[in-house]
Amino acid sequence: MAPPALLPLVALFACTRPPDPSQALLPTQLSVLVEHQGLSGPEPLSVVLDLRRNSRNELDVRLSEGMRLWDGRHLWELTDTVGPDGHGLHVADLHGARGADIPLHAEGPLRVVGMTRRDVWVQLPSGSVADCELDQPVCAPSMLQSLPLDHPGPGAGFKLTLVDGELRLRVPFGDERGIEILDHVTALLGVHWVHETWLDQDPLLDRTYRGRGTITAVSRLATLDGDLHEWEDAEPLVVEAPWQIESGGERWKGPRDAGFSVAASHVSGGDGRVCFAGRVRDDDWTSDDTLTFHLGETALEVNLLTRSTAQSRVGDGWFSRAYEVCMDVTVPAGVTELPLSVVFRDRDAGGDTVLASAPMEDGHPTGVLRGIR
């Protein structure tokens, strides 16, 4: 019999119930690995989403080319190898800087069909599938052919779905249809909901992923005067984080050194003109500081020391300058969105720092402007 002093504790333990899953800590990030239809064919693409809404009441999305999955402790990366034994795969933890070859080889490329924080499923050219551990690669035969296209999430309203190539995320604070994350997705390869992190994650993710911003154009008549009074209710995309730097990050000293915001408008039934407005911050203006708008197949470069052109107006200011830019674009019938990247090149004595709302890939903008009417 237990000593009398322990009886209350024993009784309390006996009456304790397992925690309700709905009361568990909600995830703060989502890591997804997909097969994406690129310009040259299907290719792996990795996504990390911050599930806490930003100042625009939207989710920050970071993307990285290649096969990567973030689990809060490790950032696993899979890379193709070719050696004397043929094609293979190498697995590495980018945080721990350690890696090993997966003990599989074939005459042709190996295909990853699924990945979790512990395992990767690899399809051989013969069609058979092997389940391999990530931490210490050993493989065994598996029956898995592919991951399901619907992922129920951790509960509490989270759900990830892939329908007709469109990857959507439903979150507790969103609508029933969910938020579009990517299109032209051909397969869902890996999903991990990150509830908490055990690492100093930001530098690791900043080096590996880049932001791909989405802007929704509002119906607004813009006056090209450099005054933002008619934009007061706009919710701009803000570009001032390390993961939005395309190059020169080692020289960047923070948002006051270089950063910008951008909002957009497009009038329904108008002449195809799309207007942008926002502010640019720079601690040392030079004649080579430029803001370039890549919209569909059209590009417009604005020199930030040139006050006025036929398509742009830039205000005055020491650290912050307001701007308005209008572009004439041809929008085919039925099109409601266009590819968009806005790029700020800050040239200082030590070199260039380039920030972008979305990367340029092979000369094509990878972000999206929605709300075209």
Q: Give 210-265 pLDDT, tens digit per residue.
A: 888 888 888 888 888 888 988 988 888 999 988 899 999 888 998 889 999 999 99
pLDDT tens digits, residue range 103-146?
Answer: 999 998 899 999 988 999 999 988 899 999 998 889 999 887 66
Does the domain at residues 214-370 carry the CATH identifier 2.60.40.1190? yes
**Nearest C-alpha neighbor of 241 from the set 94, 373, 48, 11:** 48
Other Cβ atoms within 10 Å of 373 Cβ, number: 12
CA distances from 173 to 158, 178, 370 (A): 9, 10, 21
H or E segment at 315?
Answer: none
Q: Looking up tokens 């399901």, which residue turns up?
A: 148
Amino acid symbol at 277: A
pLDDT tens digits, residue range 277-334?
Answer: 999 999 999 999 999 999 988 999 999 998 899 999 999 888 899 999 999 888 777 7
Domain boundaries, the chain: 25-211, 214-370
Say how far apart CA 187 and CA 41 lie, in whole Å: 13
DSSP one-letter code for 208: H
DSSP one-letter code for 233: T
User: What does the chain come to in residues?
Assistant: 373
Say how far apart CA 301 and CA 291 lie, in whole Å: 6
Say how far apart CA 247 and CA 11 lie, in whole Å: 62
As given in the structure block, the two tokens for residue 118 are 């512990």
Name the phi and psi angles at 244, rounded to 5: -105, 10
Other Cβ atoms within 10 Å of 113 Cβ, number: 19
Q: What three-state secondary structure class fits 347? A: strand
Buried b (16+ CB within 10 A) or exposed e, 127-166: eebbbbebeebebeebeeeebeeebebbbeebebbbeeee
pLDDT tens digits, residue range 324-370?
Answer: 999 988 877 778 889 999 999 999 888 899 999 998 887 889 888 98
Query: Please, are residues 262 and 276 in contact by the beta-carbon 8 Å criterion?
Result: yes
- Residue 360 forms beta bridges with which residues? 365
Mean pLDDT rounded to a whole number for the chain: 83
Say how far apart CA 370 and CA 217 lie, in whole Å: 6
Name the phi and psi angles at 316, rounded to 5: -100, 160
- Mean pLDDT value across residues 193-201: 69
Say how far apart CA 110 and CA 29 lie, in whole Å: 29
Specify the pTM: 0.73
Other Cβ atoms within 10 Å of 82 Cβ, number: 10
